[in-house]
Amino acid sequence: MRISYQYRLRLTTEQQSTVDEWLERCRRQYNYRLAERFNWWEQNRCDVNTCPLICHLPELKDRPNLYSQKRDLVNTKKLFPEYKGLPSHTLQDVMARVDKTFERWLKGNGNGKRSGKPRFKGQGRYRSLGFPDPIKPEHIDGKFIQLPKLGRLKLILHRPIPDGFKIKTATITRKADGYYITLSLQNSTVPELSPELPTLDNTIGIDMGLKSFLIVDDGSEVPIPQHYRKAQKKLARLQRSLSRKKKGSNRRQKAVKRVAKAHQKVANQRKDFHYKTAKKLLSKGKHIGHEALNIKGITRTRMAKSTHDAGWGQFLQILSVKAANAGTGHLRWQVSKAS
């Protein structure tokens, strides 16, 4: 069994400056390694499907991959000694991110679905540091956690780490209101629950909507909160204030933070509503079925703002994870069009 817990960090001024410096260096390394991939792709691809019998073929370059770019980190540290201050596995995690996003663009994921062309990270757009090594139990001391080359970090332990779980990875994320750490916990002794087969008696159906967030098959409704629409006036006012600030000034940076915090508050309210709604549905101890929604198609219509405000995709993902942890099933059915 594997779960993730997120805690807020209380970093010192020195630790904050170190994390910000590491994020900037990882951002530059991400862009450099992604540029290596693009250069190889541009120089080795050919859009022409025919050629004459006699032609000159340029010498093909070796394709950069995850392992070759990891090996090249030794040369990077020689040319730029400031990279020696970062943990080696944190830099290797940057290479893994580049490899994942580039391969999903060229080949697609396990289902063959391709992602869009990767983009370079602008300043402030690289927001997380990965620590892929397992954290030993002695590195957890009450409200403090020990991370490589960062020392002891204080966190707000709003819920204790379950007994028997091992910390496999840790990720520090910078958000608008501060820094957070996400711990990936695993316990191999906990067996995976196999839910019973769904029947008409042990299954409830829900219908997602925009007038009501969802309607249960017994007729009860969950009203839609519309967090974004209620915050629109405040967001517009903050955005107008931001547009009047001079680019590059300190006041503009403060205005950007105010806008980011306002958007984050809306996102947190929406996520809190989704978790509480999922818990209320799962408290009945039954399977939950819903229509297979084409959310991507709906967001291309006039209902895009309302659909994004409702957050159907996030709610269904939360519902699926919570249902699996509770030992119940999460079903989707395809509704055929009436002929």
List, for residues 38-52, the tens digit of each pLDDT value. 998 888 776 555 555
75 in the same domain as 13: yes
For residue 267, give its domain range. 203-333
Q: How many domains does the chain have?
A: 2
- The residues pairing with 290 across neighbouring beta strands, listed in sequence order, are 206, 332
Helix (H, G, I), strand (E, B), or coil: what is residue 225? coil
260 in the same domain as 169: no
| Residue 101 counted as domain residue | yes
pLDDT at 57 over 90: no
Among residues 190, 216, 232, the one where a domain terminates is: 190
Nearest to 149 by CA among 172, 167, 165, 168: 172
275 in the same domain as 307: yes
In sequence order, what are the residues at sequence separation of 6 or more whose Cβ sits closer than 8 angstroms to the Cβ of residue 228?
266, 270, 305, 308, 309
- pLDDT digits 0-9 by tens, 217-270: 888 999 999 999 999 999 999 999 999 999 999 999 999 999 999 999 999 999
With tokens 């001079």, the residue in question is 246
207 in the same domain as 272: yes
Question: What is the spatial distance between Cα 253 and Cα 259, in angstroms, rounded to a whole number?
Answer: 10
279 in the same domain as 245: yes
- pLDDT band at residue 336 under the 50/70/90 scheme: very low
209 in the same domain as 306: yes
CB 133 within 8 Å of CB 121: no
Nearest to 77 by CA among 89, 69, 67, 85: 85
- pLDDT digits 0-9 by tens, 202-216: 888 899 999 999 999
CB 323 within 8 Å of CB 288: yes
- The residues pairing with 206 across neighbouring beta strands, listed in sequence order, are 216, 290
| Residue 115 counted as domain residue | yes
Question: What is the spatial distance between Cα 272 and Cα 274, in angstroms, rounded to a whole number?
Answer: 5
The model's pTM is 0.84
Radius of gyration of the chain from its Cα atoms, rounded to whole angstroms: 24
pLDDT of residue 218: 87
Q: Is the dihedral of CA 125, 129, 132, 137 positive or negative?
A: negative
299 in the same domain as 248: yes
| Residue 109 counted as domain residue | yes
114 in the same domain as 227: no
Range with the lowest mean pLDDT among 59-63, 82-86, 133-137, 158-162?
A: 59-63
70 in the same domain as 15: yes
282 in the same domain as 323: yes
With tokens 């098959």, the residue in question is 217
